[in-house]
Amino acid sequence: MTQRLDYMQQAPALFKKLVELSGVAHDGSIEESIQDLVAIRASQINGCGFCLDMHIKQATIHGERALRLHHLAAWRESTLFAPRERAALAWTEALTTLAPEGVPDALYERVRSQLSEKEVTDLTYSIMTINAWNRINVAFKVVPGSHDKAFGLEKAGLA
């Protein structure tokens, strides 16, 4: 696969703002382990190889267990995820693949039973940013692993 263009170079101001938004969202109230799961799950749904590769490596560096990463695509059937993680994953799927009728009240109530209003808001911003990254990386066919050195991802030992 060949990358179509370098969007970072073509629109540096927009790239910088998206990086800033991602950083603020990452520094919110949602723990890093859930943010890793959310980024991976959204990237699976969106078919973004670059982000999937990157976030699996980041999760590995952060200490995520390999079996949980393997189970993530089938999290509903897995016993490896806590209720809080399940709520975050359900919210991720609902916001990544918006249904014509929107987000059901029952799902919102389920998520709110596990997360505070601040946490739901911060999680929503995290989901928004990973979806933005997925879309730009899919659009321009960014090659998985192509920025590992720049992001320090070689530490994952998954090359």
**Secondary structure (DSSP) of 9-50:** HHSHHHHHHHHHHHHHHHTSSS-HHHHHHHHHHHHHHHT-HH
Token pair belonging to 70: 């393997």
End-to-end CA distance of the chain: 17
Q: What is the pLDDT of residues 79-116, one digit of tens each?
A: 999 999 999 999 999 999 999 999 999 999 999 999 99
Token pair belonging to 60: 């590995």
Q: In the CATH hierarchy, which fold is given to the domain comprising 7-156? A: AhpD-like (1.20.1290)
The pTM (predicted TM-score) of the whole model is: 0.95
Nearest to 111 by CA among 59, 38, 33: 38
Contact 122, 31 (CB under 8 A): no
Q: What is the pLDDT of residues 59-87, one digit of tens each?
A: 999 999 999 999 999 999 999 999 999 99
Backbone angles phi, psi at 36, to 5 degrees: -60, -50
Contact 37, 44 (CB under 8 A): no
